[in-house]
Every structure is written in C-alpha cells, then in structure tokens.
Chain A
Amino acid sequence: MTNETTQARPVVDIAGVSKVFDARGQRATRVEALVGIDLSIAAGEFVSLIGPSGCGKSTLLRLIGDLTPPTSGTITVNGKPAERARRDRDYGMVFQAPVLFDWRTVQGNVELPLEISGTSKAQRAERAKEHLRLVELSDFAGHYPWQLSGGMQQRVAIARALAVDPALLLMDEPFGALDEMTRERMNLELLKIWERTETTIVFVTHSIAEAVFLSTRVVVMSPRPGRISSIIDIDLPRERNVETRELEQYFHLVTAVREALRGDERSAGSTDGDDDDLAERRVAAEGLSG
C-alpha cells in the first residue's frame, strides 16, 4: 500500500452492515436492529450518533468495537477487520457507567488496560499519571472509585480509555448519567482532550445540544429498522468554548438536527405507536430545552 492511500484511509469504514437480534431462531423475537449501514469516518473526526431509543446507535458503536458481530456487511477499523483491531487494542471504550473496579485505586483503574497489554510497571505508572493529569485528577490517584463523584468517576473512565493511546475512542452516552451542568463542563474537557490527543472519536448521545457542540459530523439515526436517516456536517469553528453555544450558526445546526429527528418521529409515529414514541418525544423535548 502506498503512502497516499494510507493517509486517505478512513479510521472506521462500515459497508453494508446489518444486525439482526434473533433469539434462538424464533421468528417472533426477531429484531432488525440495523439495516444497510454505510459510514466512513476519517482520522481526527468527532462523529456523534444520535437518535431515539431503539435506533441502534449503541449497537452500531458495539459493532465498531467488535463487542458483537454484524449479521452482514464489513467493518474495517484502522484498515483491518474490527476483530483484529480489537485484538491489536486500537480503540478505547467509555460506557455510560464508569465501570471502575472497586478494588483498584483510581491509578490502578487507569493502569488496568496497560497491565493487560503487558506494559512494564514503570511505564504503566507514568502513563497513568500523565492521563490522570489530562483529566485533572492527579490529586485523586490514590483514592478508591467510591470516594469520587459520578463526574470524576467518568473522567477516570476516560483516562483509562486514553491510557493506551488509542487511534479511536468509542463513547456510549458517557455523560448520560450526569447532571446538565457537569455534562457541559465534561463536554468542554472532552474537546480539550480531543484537541490534545488528536484521536478520532465516535460518540453516542441522545442530546442534540451535546452532539452539535462536540462534533464535526452528526449522524442522525431512526428506529424500526435502525438506519442512518441523515448526516449533518457541523461547520462550526473547530475552536469551541462557552460562547459557541450562543452562535447563530449553532442554533441553526441544533434546529437542523432536531428537524432531522422530527422527520423520523413523524414517519415512525405513522407506522405504529408503541412506547418507543415516548423516548422519541423525550429526545425532541431535550432538544428544545438544550
């Protein structure tokens, strides 16, 4: 492979992917979580996946991370199959819950992926320190997770994901459990980290405001079956801060994403009306408040 193609190669390339959840071949429980997904993510991008519950956004993230296999199609991460990428530890993952180990200190938790990849003890300590500094938790290295607030725990989880210097960071509603104020602060911190590490981020959220504020592109998804309904480029200045949320352009983009989601709501509402509608309304309402 020549040098040019290596540079142009996307970090994530998803082609014709579908995912069917099929409980032991029973027709009745067959759920088409995702159909016909094509998506290419370039190095250094910050891509948000947004959509109502049941649109398969988390499933798509889990497919990229090879935590579950696709039913059909191919997923390429860093130019290799997703499974190889996972085995090569090419990505870091942050879930909605911090999932820290109670028996490890903050530092020990950040060292965990390094321990598993066989990094030497001295290097482990050094890298953990460095990444705790990045998330501004250096003073808490010796604390146990339960001594920290929810926001701090999630920052530990981010430091842990970054500790292996991944080419790709996969985040599944990482700030979903935090209050609005903490969430906004975490958004700013995440952007700082993204700037400094130059990593590629795929970010699942159900907050329109968050998606627009953070991303270079927002992928709007819709349910039954889960699919990409539109992709919106976020052409805000790369340098983002508190004022970004007050830009006219920001409001336009929030409106654009909201309308893209509303379009889904209408079409979904016309086919049937189960409890998923509630989640969709919640997303729309959140957009109005954000």
Chain B
Amino acid sequence: MTAAEVATPAGRGGLGAGLMRGIRAWGPPTLLLVGLLAVWEIAVRSFGIKQFILPRPLAIAETWVTYLPELYAAARYTFLEILAGLVIGATAGIVIGMVTARYRFMQDSLMPFAVAASSVPILAFAPIFNNWFGLDQQLSKAMVAAVLCFFPVMINTVRGLTNVDARALELLRSYAASEVAVFRKLRVPNSLPYVFTALRLAVTLATIGAVVGEYFAAPRSSLGQYIATYSAFLNFERSWAAIVFACIIGIGLYLIVAIAERIVMPWYDRQAEWR
C-alpha cells in the first residue's frame, strides 16, 4: 500500500497539485521553445550566418525593446483591423449560417458556393479590397480579414445546427417541442463545438489577412508595412521584431477563444479527456 501512496502525491487536491499540473502542462513546451531559441542563437554565431539572412534571437529581442513604442503603435493599428475583421466576419458567418441552416433550399443553393469559396485564395483579392475600401484605410484590411473568417464560421455554423442526432430530434418530437425549443435546446448547444472550431481558425486567418493586406498598401505605422519596409532596407531585425508582435496578437487571440470555449462549454473539454 505504501507504493500506491507514494505513487499519488499529485492525487491530493489544492494549490500544490494545481501547480504541479500547470508545470506538467506548460513545462515541456516552454523548455522546447527555450532550447530551440538557444540552438538558433548558437548556430547563427558558430556558423557565421549573416544577419540579413537570419538574425540572432537576442539581436531581435534587443531591437524589439529598442523600438518598442513604434512597434506597439503599429501593432495597435493592425490589432484593430484584426479585431474588426473578426467581429464582422464571425458575426456575419454566424447570422447567415443560422438563416441558411433554417431553410433547406438555402442550404442546397448556398453551401456548395460557400465550400468552394472557402478553398479560393481570398488573400489574392487584398489589392482589390484596398482599392474598394481605401488604400490607407483600416477598413480595407479589416474586410480582407472578415471575408477570410466568414466562410469557415458560416460553414461550421450550418453544420453544427443541422448535424443533430436524429434520435434527439425524435425525443423532442415526443415532447411536442416547438421549433424554437428545438433550436434553443438542441441545435444551438450542438453547434457550439463546431462554431468554436471555426473561431479558432478564424483568429489565425484574420491575423494573416490583416498583415498581408497591409503589405500591399497601408500607413507606415502598421505591422505589415513595418515588416515590408524594413525588409526592403535589409534591416531584418526590425522586420523580425514586428513579426514577433504579430505572433503575440495571433496567439493571444487564440488563447482568448480557447478560454471562452471552456467557459461556454464546460462539458466539452472534459468529455474529450474522459474518452
């Protein structure tokens, strides 16, 4: 029995156990990241790789700190585009997805186009969007991001609302449930995992859409232009420093969606753990 007691020190609840779990979850990836950065730093130094080909991580960090105020201003500008794009694209996707799921003929006519459109390189339209919504306007980049987000969110909303267990529908029929009740009590909760999967994808797409949209035309103080301009001047450390900011935004938004998912669907994640 002593062996079993020794084997389960983390089995006890409380702060210590929580800390242990945290370390176990975050420890390995953190170590890997630090290790990779170290290898990068050492490789660049020992092989004498030119800074304009691949700057050292420490040099990038230095640049990041030095130019923090202007990088921050550029990141703020781009972040607003991403956020606006996300809100517009995801809201439109959910609303139109809901309407589409409601009517059979809309599913039959719209879904093939939506699926086809989601495999079109929408980013190719970025210069055209710049032309439509203003070269130096945040709106044009937000619209690229919105269109990129729209299709996966819309498609998954339709799938989540329509892909319901036939037996559950029958059960609700036996309760003489109204269509509104079926929608609220079955279709909406059923769709949440689908919608959140799409939102995780959407934050990544919105970030890509806004930054790449800025490559074509945007004010100096935007991440896309910052990266493009300093790359043109062969000052790659500053480009890399801006890329780090873009990564922070992308990862940050992703984490927010992941946390929201846990709050909205407390049953879901744990269910995956149990199976």
A interface residue numbers (CB < 8 A to B):
65, 67, 86-89, 91-93, 95, 97, 99, 101-104, 112-113, 115-117, 144, 146-147
* A67 lies within 8 A of B170 (CB): yes
B contacts with A, residue count (CB < 8 A)? 23
* B168 lies within 8 A of A116 (CB): no
Q: Does B186 contact A (CB under 8 A)?
A: yes
Q: Tell me which of B165, B171, B265, B270 contacts A93 (CB under 8 A).
A: B171
Output the least CB separation between B100 and chain A (Å).
23
* B270 lies within 8 A of A144 (CB): yes
Q: How many residue pairs between the two chains, A and B, have CB atoms under 8 Å in the bound complex?
A: 54
Residues of B within 8 A of A86 (CB): 173-174, 176
Q: Does B2 contact A (CB under 8 A)?
A: no
Query: What is the chain A residue whose CB lies nearest that of B273?
Result: A146
Q: Does B175 contact A (CB under 8 A)?
A: yes
Measured CA separation A147–B167 after assembly (Å): 21
Q: Does B172 contact A (CB under 8 A)?
A: yes
Q: Tell me which of B165, B172, B189, B265 contacts A116 (CB under 8 A).
A: B172
Residues of B within 8 A of A88 (CB): 176
Residues of A within 8 A of B181 (CB): 116
Residues of A within 8 A of B268 (CB): 102-103
Q: Tell me which of A65, A102, A146 contacts B174 (CB under 8 A).
A: A65
Output the least CB separation between A98 and chain B (Å).
10
* B267 lies within 8 A of A144 (CB): yes
* A101 lies within 8 A of B167 (CB): no
Q: Does B50 contact A (CB under 8 A)?
A: no
Query: What is the chain B residue whose CB lies nearest that of A99?
Result: B167
* B274 lies within 8 A of A116 (CB): no
* 8 Å CB interface, B244-273 against A: 265, 267-268, 270-271
Residues of A within 8 A of B185 (CB): 101, 112, 115-116
Residues of A within 8 A of B24 (CB): none
Measured CA separation A95–B268 after assembly (Å): 24
Q: Does B12 contact A (CB under 8 A)?
A: no
